[in-house]
Amino acid sequence: MKNVLILFCLMLSGMLLLPACGEEDSGCTEITWYQDADGDGLGNPNVSQSACEQPSGYVTNSDDIDDSGSSASSCNTPGEAAQSTNAEIEAMRQAMLTFRNSLSESLLSEASSCLDNERFYVWHNTPNENGNSRDGIIYGDLSDEQLTSFKTMLQLFLSESGYQKVDEITVLAEGLLNTRNASAWSPDYYSIDMFGDPENSGSWGFQLDGHHLAINFLVHGDNVSIVPAFLGGEPAVSSFNGTDFDIFKDERDLGLMLFNGLTTTEASAAVSTGSHTMEVGPASTPGAVDAYRGEYDYSGFRVGLKYSDMSEATQANLVLVMQEYVYNLSPTFADQWWADITANMEDTYFVWINDEDNPTTTSPFYYRIYNPYVWIEYNAENALGGGDADYNHVHTITRIPNNPATDNGGDYGIFALLINQNGVRTLYEHYAMADHHKMSELLFDYTVNIPYNRGHYHSHGTGYHQH
């Protein structure tokens, strides 16, 4: 009986030492944490929570006067459209929201700007060395799940063939170059910038920018565009990890079919001996704003072989070339774009420049097409860092000239004009007036007048001109 009594006393003593129900003896002291939505290290005094450990996206101070930073949620850009009821656009919007919601506050803030931010017009074709020479976030910042989410959205904007080209540029060609110089070239270095507020607005977009790839995606109400779209490759034809690729096979082969099918009369109008360079390509230097947006004047490019002067066979071949570029966009919206192009087909011009009398698939050559609703250039560049032949270094660009009849604007939609600030309007103005070009010797293959000083006009035609 005595032993039972002792055991009862010990049990009673243990029970008295137990904490009350729901009580925790963790030694935790909760403190107040403040949300840091813009990732600047300063907390929002109006958004807080108590916790023992630091929640993601929160800091201990409440010193931020404006925690919105450059977040797209604070945008109210003039000209924004209402959200579309189109099912495909809504799928794009939901995919963008899914991707945005997968990002940390700091990554979202770093990647987000408004549509009137200058970042909307900054892109280049040069390498994003070490992933540090572009705005926004890079592929290497993302988890596998986040990158998959982004690429899922990308596929909604592009056709199957358009997405294949992007994949071959960013994964295969860039992966091959990465084995030659990992600091300059890497599939991880492609950057993502996002513009506008897809949650609350019908006008929003994003930019995918890096070596040999810069595409500007824009949703504006019921309109979807992907211009400017710069796609390139060096090597453009090769193999990586057992997979062969020929990025611009159709652009090259269809271009050659068009050229080889020209009659003697057509060839005399189309073939030029002018400059073998892009006329309306990337900005002159990395980090510079695209000088050719907004009010850039394409009127000087109404030269070459005109559509109405082509035979039916040549017209058909031209259409195939043009569609190869237009239908990089998702078919539904490419159809809408193509309808505008065909309505203005009579105002279409074709120019060809080559280094050989009988060009082949392994010859460097250039062609361009002007239409009020599409601008296309293809150029086999001089070989650079890849160590490949000239024909195997290809640059292409697709744009929409910003003509008055273009209701949705040209490149960058209606938002191109918001920060134009009286910048250069034409290629000639840029070359003639920019200090770094004034003394250069250039070869032009078309004619246009530009103002020199006070009312004096200087005409550029075929041939070399000293500035």
pLDDT tens digit sequence for 134-148: 999 999 999 999 999
pLDDT of residue 132 exceeding 70, the answer is yes
Residue with tokens 């500035």: 467
Question: Which has more pLDDT, 67 or 452?
Answer: 67
| pLDDT given for residue 238 in this prediction | 96
Confidence of residue 388 (pLDDT cuts 50, 70, 90): confident
The whole-chain average pLDDT of the chain stands at 83
Closest among 383, 380, 350 to 362, alpha carbons compared: 380
| pLDDT given for residue 431 in this prediction | 34
Which phi-psi region, left, alpha or beta, contains residue 287 (left: φ > 0; alpha: ψ -120 to 50)? Answer: left
Closest among 109, 108, 106, 103 to 70, alpha carbons compared: 109
pLDDT of residue 250 exceeding 60, the answer is yes
| pLDDT given for residue 55 in this prediction | 87
Q: Is pTM, for the whole model, over 0.75?
A: yes
**Strand residue runs (E) in 235-289:** 237-240, 243-246
Mean pLDDT to the nearest integer, 181-199: 97
| pLDDT given for residue 192 in this prediction | 98
Residue with tokens 């600091």: 183
Question: Which has more pLDDT, 385 or 338?
Answer: 338
| pLDDT given for residue 438 in this prediction | 37
User: Do the beta carbons of residue 159 and residue 35 sit within 8 Å?
Assistant: no
Mean pLDDT to the nearest integer, 149-157: 98
- The count of C-alpha atoms lying within 13 angstroms of the C-alpha of 373, restricted to the half-sphere facing its C-beta, is 21
Which residues 6+ apart lie within 8 Å of 378 measured at CB? 248, 251, 252, 255, 366, 367, 368, 394, 395, 396
